[in-house]
Structure 1
Amino acid sequence: MEHTDFNNDLIEFLDGSPTPWHAVNTMKSRLDAAGFQQLDERDNWSLEQGQGYYVIRNGSSIIAFRSGKKSPVEAGIRMVGAHTDSPCLKVKPNPEIRRKGFFQLGVEVYGGVLLNPWFDRDLSLAGRVTVLDEEGQVKDTLVNFKKPVAIIPSLAIHLDREANSNRTVNAQTDLPPVMMQVPETDTTSFADLLKQQVASECGLTAEKVLGYELGFYDAQGASLVGLREEFLASARLDNLLSCYIGLQSLLKASGDEPALLVCNDHEEVGSMSAEGAQGPFLGNVLERWCGDDKARVIARSMMISADNAHGIHPNYMDRHDENHGPILNQGPVIKINHNQRYATNSRSAALYRHISDELGLPHQSVVVRSDMGCGSTIGPLTAGTLGVTTLDIGVPQFAMHSIRELIGTQDGFTLYRVLKAFMERPDVA
């Protein structure tokens, strides 16, 4: 895969993955096409050497692995981790709001959303819907309206003269998107609209909507940006970019060594769920793969937690340590925090630098300012749960947690090349 092909395919992946459920479904399709076999957690497993497998939990988290030609007890497992969720606005269970003939939906803020960029954007809606079908069966289905169906209009500056200096966003009152205008006598429910969408998109007649997990997203697709197209702008780069890089690395690796990709949901809200990184999902899969030898396998293994990093912003350079300001298009960023907000240690960082240097590829390091707080990733959670040596790394980006984020077009491809080499490497511990 070449640099241009990588970015074009990344754009297709991002546009096809507006929610964690869609992202997992997209990865499932690509794994199926590559000959991977789906495993069901309810069944007995009979794993063969040299085969690819994947497991899905809740439809929003996925673990894919190649069993390799060597026993994981002897070779260890090369693991890459990422997360499928992104900050967004999720629809409430009883969302209908009618004011002056405008039909709006109440929303709940999911994760640490940068709220101001959500105003005046063309918004669409997607997620998972659970229905009762004509035969009385409970079924899950994915929906994606795709076209712009809502907007959150800004208040005009004439009505808020301090908008450019002192405007705040109230998550309860300022964010309900406007979906349509309706007469005063209208009794349309959101469930009615969902049944229509399920019928038209999925060909499924729903007698009743039993539940849903739906989020608004930016209807504008990913695109190359810049006079020389040095940048790629998109929603959900944090962290679908890492999901894509990890998937491509697993698919393109030789398959000789045992290798695994885990993409967890719920990282943006703490990872404490059945399918989150603080939950048992990865441990359960490793126990079924490795049996009583799991502890020995972990001792020979390594995890690379891939989650984007803050690139140094030319308008806000004072927000970075002067010796640790990652530059877009100058390589992936090794993330270091001695208070264990990142799981990187000198050993795991050294292995990454060594592989990257062997390939002649750039890399950077970041430490946050000592007077500022530090975010975290699934890295420390996975390291603490499994006891596996872990590295935190990420592609540098701008506008993290905005509705539209920005990366350099070189860095994702660079990280892919290193992770592919990592998955092919005979010694990682």
Structure 2
Amino acid sequence: MAKTEGQKLEEKLCYKIQNIGMERPEDVEKAMAFCEGYKEFLDHAKIEREAVRETIRMAEENGYKPFERSKKYKTGDKVYLDNRGKSIILTTIGKRPLDEGVHFNIAHIDSPRLDLKPNPLYEKEELAFFKTHYYGGIKKYQWAVTPLALHGRVMLRDGRAIDLDLGEKPGDPVFVVSDLLPHLAQEQVKRTLADGIKGEELNVLLGSTPIADPEVKQAFKLKVLSILHEMYGITEADFLRAELTMVPAQHAVDIGFDRSMVGAYGQDDKVCAYTALMAELETKKPEYTTVTALVDKEEIGSVGNTGMSGDMLLHYMEDLAEAEGERVRDVLRASLCLSADVNAAFDPTFPDAFEANNASYMNRGPVLTKYTGSRGKSGSNDASAETMQRVIKYMDDENVMWQIGELGRVDLGGGGTVAMFIANMDVDTVDLGVPVLAMHAPFEITSKLDVYYTYKAFKAFNK
């Protein structure tokens, strides 16, 4: 049937976000295949140190070499800089001179979790526990009765590093925060949801057998210490030199009868880290030099020398520019950045949290988020019209389906990303990433089509 004049006008003038599965069913199998590698990455990179180690392994397999200051590189050369084992920068040298700008992709590799307190181990009523201090924005009640694994690093007095990863392999024990049974929770259920489990109640159960010696005052705590010493050679004093954390022991899995989604811990923001990394690894001789940074500490404000509020990226760019005889300010001013971070996918179970016309939806591709922040765009980078035009053109020219969205209703909340820190370096910046259901939960959900098309967006940007 021929289109009416009104339909033609509507098609010409109106904006409509399309579902990738409806428009391009041939890409479903491609997305499925791509996400097999993504799931494997998630399982090997639950904390930032592991993500950096896995990234270095993948980078070196693809020809990357450690970055050397003052060395002049040529088009197609690939280098990386490991920053303290907790963040990493990868670069493919482009055809154009640096003073015409570089293309930044910046994602974070830390995720909400339960960090151990500096002096964590104690016993109470013949049970042994770790005390924790939660990291990042969490709903505390979601972390109770969730199987947990112990990850992190202990530095021994002699300078040796011991890396822990217990609870992930078949046969490993797991750990847990307990909760009250409903029969005895009449007082607990009167609490607000935010205080259903309080911070000081996030105590991780470790063991229930003692050292069989009546002269020992803390026999249950000592039993745990004896096991840790046998396994890793550590003592209680070594906790004072440690970065240890509890993360969900669940591995990445397919969700749904159609296996169209990925369920896993830490997809905020390793979904953007992995897609940006894969695009970077596959970049050969780009027009503009690519700089892909996978960074730490975003969940607590991008603080410190491994987070984006520090100067690590600036110093790297200074070294890169000086080797080419350029001024770093000229390079940064001409550059363009995709702050690669997730957005909240529209959840039909909780529609009142969103403004439907400006929400992001699963299976409609990566989300361009012009601004984040909260209540009046506070704490946000607000991308300019010119920046939006350039980034959209890159995707449209390569036929990448995408969408645009905000993070929830205006007065309800909001969130932050690394975008404002890069923009403060005089770089045109906009957020782009995957829509996520149940963001910051111990188990987050993404669409495989969105993951795959986010990778395609980074490929288009790098090209």
TM-score by length of 1: 0.90
In 2, distance between residues paired with 1:45 and 1:208? 42
Amino acid at match of 1:88: R
Counterpart of 1:330?
364
Q: Which amino acid aligns with 1:312?
A: F
Judge which range, 344-353 or 190-199, deviates more: 190-199
The equivalences for 1:16-31 within 5 A come to 16-31=44-59
- Aligned equivalents of 2:249 and 2:90: distance in 1? 29
Question: Counterpart of 2:415 in 1: which secondary structure?
Answer: coil
Shift of 1:192: 5.0
Q: Distance in 1 between matches of 2:441 and 2:187?
A: 22
Structure 1 partner of 2:148 = 123
CA–CA distance in 2 between the matches of 1:173 and 1:88? 14
User: In the alignment, what sits opposite 1:254?
Assistant: 284
Deviation at 1:170, TM superposition (A): 4.6
Partner SS, residue 173 of structure 1: helix
Alignment of 1:386-405 (within 5 A): 386-405=425-444
User: Aligned pair 1:243/2:269, yes or no?
Assistant: no
Q: Which runs of 5+ in 2 are unaligned?
A: 1-28, 211-217
Distance 2:164 2:81 in 1: 22
Amino acid across the alignment from 2:348:
P
Supply the AA of the counterpart residue of 2:423: A
| Cα shift at 1:347 | 2.0
- The 1:196–1:286 alpha-carbon spacing in structure 2 relative to 1, beyond 3 Å, is farther
TM-score, structure 2 normalization: 0.83
Structure 1 position 341, deviation (Å)? 1.5
Residue 8 of structure 1 pairs with residue 47 of structure 2: no
**Cα distance in 2 for residues equivalent to 1:59 and 1:100:** 39
Moved more, 341-350 or 280-289: 341-350
Please give the alpha-carbon distance, in whole angstroms, between the structure 2 residues aligned to 1:18 and 1:149: 15
Residue in structure 2 matched with residue 95 of structure 1 by the alignment: 120
CA shift for structure 1 position 186? 4.0
Residue number among 110, 114, 120 corresponding to 2:139 in the alignment = 114
CA contact (8 A) 2:123 2:221 kept: no
Which range is displaced more, 267-276 or 363-372?
363-372
Query: Does the residue aligned with 2:414 lie in a helix, a strand or coil?
Result: coil
Residue 303 of structure 2 corresponds to residue 287 of structure 1: no
Deviation at 1:161? Answer: 3.0
Distance in 2 of aligned mates of 1:14 and 1:241: 8
Work out whether residues 342 and 436 of structure 2, in 8 Å CA contact, stay in contact via their aligned partners in 1: yes
SS at match of 1:331: coil
Q: Which residue of 2 aligns with 1:233?
A: 263
CA drift at 1:253: 1.6
Matches within 5 A, 1:17-416: 17-39=45-67, 44-49=69-74, 50-74=76-100, 76-132=101-157, 137-145=158-166, 146=168, 147-161=172-186, 166=191, 168-183=195-210, 185-186=219-220, 188=222, 193-198=227-232, 209=238, 211-256=241-286, 257-291=288-322, 292-337=326-371, 339=377, 341-367=380-406, 368-384=408-424, 386-416=425-455
- Secondary structure in structure 1 of the residue aligned to 2:201: coil
Task: Say which SS state the counterpart of residue 3 (structure 1) adopts.
Answer: helix
Q: Is the 8 A contact 1:198 1:206 kept in 2?
A: no
Distance 1:312 1:187, change over 3 A: closer
Q: Aligned Cα RMSD in Å?
A: 2.3
Q: 1:350 to 1:109 in 2, by over 3 A?
A: same
Contact 1:131 1:206 in 2 (8 A): no
Count how many residue pairs are aligned between Structure 1 and Structure 2: 410
Q: 8 Å contact 2:32–2:260 — kept in the other structure?
A: no
User: Is the Cα–Cα contact under 8 Å of residues 128 and 208 in structure 2 kept in the other structure?
Assistant: yes
Deviations 1:156-175 (A, max 9, x none): 00001366664524544321
Query: Aligned equivalents of 2:139 and 2:173: distance in 1?
Result: 20
Q: Which amino acid aligns with 1:380?
A: M
Instruction: Pick the structure with greater CA Rg.
Output: 2
Q: Whose helix proportion is higher, 1 or 2?
A: 2
User: Separation in 1 of the partners of 2:129 and 2:319?
Assistant: 47
Q: Any conservation in 2 of the 1:109–1:171 contact (CA below 8 Å)? A: no
Identity of aligned residues (%): 25
Amino acid at match of 1:72: L
**CA offsets, 1:47-81, max 9 Å, x none?**
4213111111221111111123442124x211100
Tell which deviates more after alignment, 358-367 or 84-93.
358-367
Q: Secondary structure at the match of 1:86?
A: coil
Distance in 1 separating the partners of 2:94 and 2:420: 26
